[in-house]
Amino acid sequence: MHGAATVALFLLTALLISTPLNLLPFGLLLVGSSVVGADYLWRARAQARPASRVLFWLAAVAIGLGVLSILQVDGVVSDEGNRSRFVVMPWLVLWVCALRPRAEALWWGALAGLLVAFGVCAWQVLNGASRADGWTNAIVLADTALILMVLLVFCRPPARWGLIVFGMAAGGGVILLSGSRGVWPALLGLLVAMALAVRWRSGRFRFMTLVGLMLVAVTLVLSVPQLRQMTRLTELHSDVRRIENGDVNSSAGARLERLEVAWDTFLERPITGVGIGHFDDAMLRLPECHLPDRSEVRCHLGHAHNDLAEWGATQGIPGVALLLCVYGIPLWLFIRLHRRSGEVEFRGPAAAGIMLVVSYVLCGMTQSMFAHQLSASTYTSLVGILAGFSLLDAARRGATASA
């Protein structure tokens, strides 16, 4: 069971964006090992309880409010909001504590996944694609590649910096080829955290080195036409000009329009919203979306392209409060576990968990992270896995100290 769980972790990060299988092999191994090793999971419940209890109640509230919202609008239970994925959080805490897979498998899988994903993206662009999207869509691809980079940096084994730089370059290539701009704030946050966390000379020297590298990167992007095209800076400039002229039929304009629609919907229905999975109903307040054929693409994108706008417009005030809990409770939990670990450096599973939540918050400013099965499942799975490893790490350090 230990070996099967280790393989499952490797396949989780290795296949996440590099193949169309995504989380399927991991899910099959998770279910199989949990059934066969049910007695191990039962005996590990006491050790897992500090984190699993908190995540269980978070999952119960998220799923309960989701079902209530869906029944209120559709009258039938469905999973349009991907809320059933939350059930794996406490399950994976227990699974990790019981079967104790090797944490390095996450790191090796992330490295392999980024390298293969870069190859796939390069092949797509070389064959004429304007933006690489892997096996999902370009925005989700870039956001998930960033999460693998988080695992690569903060779950790192000792003396692997050469491979980390190699993997980070591959991840940066995936983001560049995807043409996604919304991931940039999270990428910047990752680089700053990485520069300040690595114990190499002084913190000021590391920060100035990071600033220098960023200036070089910005200069290259602005001066090389091909890089400027890949990062879609010219398109962004054009979008801003069109918005100033009252034309919102562009990428940036459509996002701004959806934020306005979400705010108006929230004010109109602050308690219930329009229901999970029904953001397109809110778009009907626009004249263009009342046309019989609804040919405007922006009328049926399915979500708000912003976490706060999405949850507020579809679930009202309870949705906003729940979103704060979905991000805030795991963040609080990982901060506590990192302090308990006694880790001097900002690294390890708890540090990775902190950066996971921060990255999702930043990516969620331009994307509805739980409107897509891949990004929703990645978050819930990694929260549970990293919380389980954080508990094991704290217990191991405590045993070593007492000895």
pLDDT at 76 over 70: no
CB 122 within 8 A of CB 68: no
Count of residues making up the chain: 403
**Average pLDDT across the chain, whole number:** 87
For residue 244, how many other CB atoms are within 10 A of its CB?
A: 8
Task: Give the confidence band of 325 by pLDDT, cuts at 50, 70, 90.
Answer: very high
> What 3-state class would DSSP assign to 54?
helix
Question: Which pLDDT belongs to residue 247?
Answer: 64
Instruction: Count Cα atoms within 13 angstroms, Cβ side, for 113.
Output: 34
Question: Which pLDDT belongs to residue 400?
Answer: 47
Mean pLDDT of the 341-345 span: 74
Task: Give the confidence band of 401 by pLDDT, cuts at 50, 70, 90.
Answer: very low
Question: Which pLDDT belongs to residue 402?
Answer: 43
Question: Which pLDDT belongs to residue 403?
Answer: 41
Residue whose C-alpha is closest to residue 402's, from 360, 355, 353, 342: 342
Mean pLDDT of the 82-88 span: 91
The 10s digit of each residue's pLDDT in 183-229 is 999 998 998 888 777 766 566 666 676 676 677 666 656 555 555 56
Question: Which pLDDT belongs to residue 216?
Answer: 61
Residue whose C-alpha is closest to residue 350's, from 396, 379, 393, 400: 393
Q: Which amino acid is at 25?
A: P
Mean pLDDT of the 145-151 span: 97
Q: Which residue has the tokens 């296949």?
A: 15
Question: CA-to-CA distance for 15 and 369, rounded, in angstroms?
Answer: 19
Residue whose C-alpha is closest to residue 148's, from 10, 3, 338: 10
Report the percent of the chain where pLDDT is more than 90: 60
3-state secondary structure 302-353: CCCCCHHHHHHHHHHHHHHHHHHHHHHHHHHHHHHHHHHHCCCCCCCHHHHH
Task: Please give the structure tokens belonging to residue 342.
Answer: 């006694």
Q: What angle do CA 362, 372, 32 make, to 5 degrees?
A: 110
Task: Give the confidence band of 302 by pLDDT, cuts at 50, 70, 90.
Answer: confident
Question: Which pLDDT belongs to residue 317?
Answer: 96
Question: Which pLDDT belongs to residue 191?
Answer: 87
Task: Please give the structure tokens belonging to residue 393.
Answer: 């790490």
Mean pLDDT of the 227-253 span: 65
256: CB partners within 8 A, 6+ apart: 243, 248
